[in-house]
A and B are shown apart, each in its own frame.
Chain A
Amino acid sequence: MLEYVGKIRDIARRLLSENKVDVVIGFRQGTIPMMSEPAVVSRPEDVDELYWDYNCGINLTNYLTKRTDRIGVVAKGCDSRNIVTHIVENQIKREQLYIIGVPCHGMIDRSRILAALDGQEPTAVVVNDTEIVVTGPGFERKFNRQEYLQNNCATCIHRNPVVYDELVAEKVEEQKLDDRYADVKKIEAMSPDEKWAFFDKILAPCLRCYACRNACPLCYCPTCFVDESRPQWLGKSIDPTDVRTFHFLRAYHCAGRCTDCGACERACPVNIPVRLLTKKLNMDVEDLYGFEPGMVPDVRPPLDVYRPDDPGGFIK
């Protein structure tokens, strides 16, 4: 993974000094372990800020929306699919972008590691091929890397970028999975009352901070439905009905567009598995329309177009 860093810096330096792009958007090391943060670099002498590790789960496509300059962007598999979605939805032009593709090995799940540390403060985290070694004052813990991947990375089947101008390394082997939607199917098997209770429990801690919405590259509406006041679709309280309406509509707005990048879940401060909702819709889109978002440019998402053979089984 660390060999990517040099390559990313080299490419960024070349692009900036040859004036191919105005800025390069990538990651830099965060101030605390396991918190790599987005970085925008505009001068060749600053490219050594750029970094890459197992904590770059934030989706950088979020920073491209409606930009007008020429941008070099570091993109892993899911980022590149969101870039395609952005191009399809006219949020950015392909000609503006120089996509530095990063074959991804999956990001590690910071919140689960912190939970396992049980309040101990990590000061250094080193990840090798199989293990995550966490050290802090007076302790050292080892975690299996595959086990502590973010859930969406563990079920990811598009680790390699789908569009890129340059790759930093050879493509990685894609995962072969038996059933990516096992968790969704488990919920589907419940009775309506069980489902209702299940989601009540899951959504109970929600504070309506909208971190999931803000982290999502799909959520770029000038006025979000939660902020609309004429008419006001839902209250701003943490009343369970309001919380549920918010999560329902947030997920629904991503239907047929979500690439399961996991940015929403990663951003949630109270660890709500919000992906359970978007994943259900992903599964339905795949089943009903045979569509996977962000794979092919120039194909509009299925809920955006009408075709005579659209499934209409629900209509009487």
Chain B
Amino acid sequence: MSEWEPKITAFLCNWCSYGAADLAGIGRMQHTPAHRVIRVPCSGRISPKFILAAFRRGVDGIWVSG
């Protein structure tokens, strides 16, 4: 771990992006390990509170994907 890696909270929709992530895994695609995934039943559930709460706990970036 010589280089700094960001910590990114990823809010992924169960039906869309989470599925895409799953498919990417099945396809053994290489991608960044920076994301910490939180699966949500729907990205419409994301409230600004969640985003602020994540920032307050010190994440470097946030990615909301439906």
**Footprint of B on A, CB under 8 Å?**
225, 231, 233-234, 241, 245, 248-249, 252
Contact = CB atoms under 8 A, between A and B. Distances in A.
Contacts, number: 16
B48 interface: yes
16 contacts: A225-B49, A231-B53, A233-B49, A233-B52, A233-B53, A234-B52, A234-B56, A241-B56, A245-B52, A245-B56, A248-B48, A248-B52, A249-B48, A249-B49, A249-B52, A252-B48
B32 to A, nearest CB: 15
Interface residues of B, number: 5
Contacts of A245: 52, 56
Interface of B: 48-49, 52-53, 56
Contacts of A225: 49
Across the A-B interface, the 10 shortest Cβ-Cβ residue pairs: A233-B49, A245-B52, A252-B48, A233-B53, A241-B56, A225-B49, A249-B48, A248-B52, A245-B56, A249-B49
A245 B53 CA distance: 9
Give the residue among A225, A233, A241 with the most B Cβ atoms within 10 A. A233
Contacts of A231: 53
A101 B52 CA distance: 41
A208 to B, nearest CB: 16
